[in-house]
Structure 1
């Protein structure tokens, strides 16, 4: 019997070693698996490479992880917003490495990894500092930059509901990067509000099929 639901969040997170590359879903705090991040902090893993849309907000979730010094490098689109002071301090002090990726490129590079594709050509970034040292192509009157797929050892994502097979549904904009990150990681860990019985999820509403999810943990925001 396939049962990917987990009783212990910490037992699941214990599979993540130091030095891992981890995709963390979320658009700012929307859809960010804050409880999984808190568990990661408690484990004390270090030397992490994090892939996220931005670089944390205030002292919450991802920003709290950055503050511990556990992250060696972050790959993101928006490293600076009004409340990204933790990343800002770390970067100015030379304590964290940044790979800046335009948001569309970030999504496409993650999708490429999830679909088993190789490098992709994109016009975004051509002729800028982001294209320095990268292969380019002139094709049908346009210029393109070659970008590598982004893969991860683990993905930490947040969904509204899941079942024991790992099928997931999301709540509105909280979906954001989670579906493609689940596809691009070797091991995806999903934090959900509720694990429901098989058959309770409307097949038309399942966004992430269970084949892309290895662990489902039922957590409530207050936990």
Structure 2
């Protein structure tokens, strides 16, 4: 790869972190371009040329521009690690990965992500509802991870990468991870992977 991948991001965004994590796991050179979301940099005319939806993350890979974090994970693996365990091609395993990408876009977003948005950024969502959704999800995932290491297959995949960031930082949104030992062990396994890079942390609220 001739030039580093440009990653347009907000450092405290889990959507952005999952892309950075994938870039790091694949050992790809990249540079981060931080947008001042509070000042509306993501809605500037310059950035809207990159992503008309005005959202982060987005990447520029040698002139190929792509937004949407899960789509970026697929692109990076298909481009730079095709045929690897990161994204299986066998129909059943591929479907299992896709199922967890959908969970990341739906349940993880509406649960731990939204709870964190309220606590850290004052977003106008129902915090109690988001926390309840997070606990429902975590209980399900904790049961799913009993006796297995990874979400979708016998190896780490993009499904695990897509799920990690907001779950690892759920306590910042007031969601306690202590009741979920299998989920916490899964987070530890991801953090033990070569080239792991963490997301910027914020003070954790006291648990009630």
Same fold, TM-score > 0.5, yes or no: no
TM-score for the superposition, normalised by structure 1: 0.25
TM-score for the superposition, normalised by structure 2: 0.26
Q: Report the structure, 1 or 2, having the larger strand content.
A: 1
Q: Report the structure, 1 or 2, having the larger helix content.
A: 2
